[in-house]
Amino acid sequence: MKQADSVIAILGIGTAVPDYRLDQADTSQRLAQALSEIPDTARWVKRIFKQCGVETRYTCEPNLLESAEDCRYFSQWSNRVIPSTAERMETYKRESVPLGLSAARKALIDGEVEASDITHLITVSCTGQFLPGLDAVLIQQLGLAVTVNRIPLNFLGCAAGLKAVCLSRQIVSSNPSAKVLIVCVELCTLHIQPSSQREDLFGASFFGDGSSACIVGLTESNHRGIFQLGNEHSILLPDSAEEMVWEVGNYGFDLYLSTNIPKLIGRMIPEQIEHLITGCQKPELWAIHPGGKGIIDTLEEMYELTQEQTQPSRSVLRNYGNMSSATILFVLNEMRQKLINRDSGPANGIALAFGPGLTCEMIQIAYLPSVITQEQLTNEFHV
């Protein structure tokens, strides 16, 4: 096939979640019970858990489903010993591997790509580390070539999944024979803090565990229902370094999220989006990383998006919570299934995610029900 008939695209997507399901109402009730000695905080917990847009999420830690007095993560008043960071990292090492393998295998099958064809492996996580790392284990258990170029993206936060997609596009652009496997694994619930501080409880209200994977490479005419990748844009927003902080503590990783983040995004991001889509029509598809309900609300109002346009992001937030770097591929997979189910034609769009810094990663996408010519793609992005 001629190069002009091929496009750089996400060829396949796979997702996986742990076995244990957290019901938001039940979790809120048990956490409020753990905080019963602080009535105002207990009431606030119930309110924020109800309003954050999450109904269910998943965890690798069955202890988080136990009663308040038996849950080691909920409060300093628990009857059990609080897990140390070292213990949480042991759990991460044990639980991250099967999740990553499951998502990767699904992506390979979905993309009709053989493990032996993978030339680059990008592993992404900010919720745990061990060496030899996830990349080494995946090579062994997936049967990848031992010469695969390994690129770990560690401790970059929620935007790292989309950063990996953008990096993969650059790799394939300079090496058309490359096939890049991205595997994101995040076990966010391992870092629930034994604290009554509201900033800790806010983070505990909507983060969940999950893994996602995708294959990026040149596609041929036999692929259907894919996202072509266009221009990307990365920005470190000024004067916002303290708005989202993720540090290693004695009892897991300590997260601080400012309530100002949606307002900052609303003020600073439009200029960056315009920089990316200059000369193009307004995106029809919006794959927004659901870093919180407020972020989706802000972008929906600012760009006058319909409920249908934000549905993939809201659905993922509602059913899985924020799974940090893994989340954006859940959103793209949800969006793709909807487009396939309604037999949609080609549509242009944008994917964007936010992380500590504040960092914003964004990339043009185009849904292709089937591969079309380069001339048609150029028209699709630049009409």
Catalytic sites, residue numbers = 158
| Cβ contacts of 121 within 8 Å, gap of 6 or more | 135, 138, 139, 144, 148, 149, 150, 151, 180, 181, 183
Selection from 41, 78, 322, 50 nearest residue 198 by Cα: 41
- How far CA 108 is from CA of 53, 176, 213, in Å, comes to 32, 18, 9
Helix (H) or strand (E) run with residue 44 in it: helix 39-51
C-beta separation of 199 from 249 below 8 A: no
Cis peptide before 132 (omega within 30 of 0): yes
The token duo for 73 is 């993560």
The token duo for 248 is 């290693």
Separation CA 253–CA 29 (nearest Å) = 24
- How far CA 202 is from CA of 46, 192, 197, 284, in Å, comes to 11, 10, 9, 32
C-beta separation of 351 from 169 below 8 A: no
**Per DSSP, what are the bridge partners of residue 255?**
246
Selection from 357, 329, 197 nearest residue 269 by Cα: 357
| Cβ contacts of 70 within 8 Å, gap of 6 or more | 63, 78, 79, 80
Separation CA 255–CA 199 (nearest Å) = 8
| Cβ contacts of 1 within 8 Å, gap of 6 or more | 220, 221
The token duo for 132 is 């030899």
Q: How many CB atoms lie within 10 A of CB 141?
A: 15
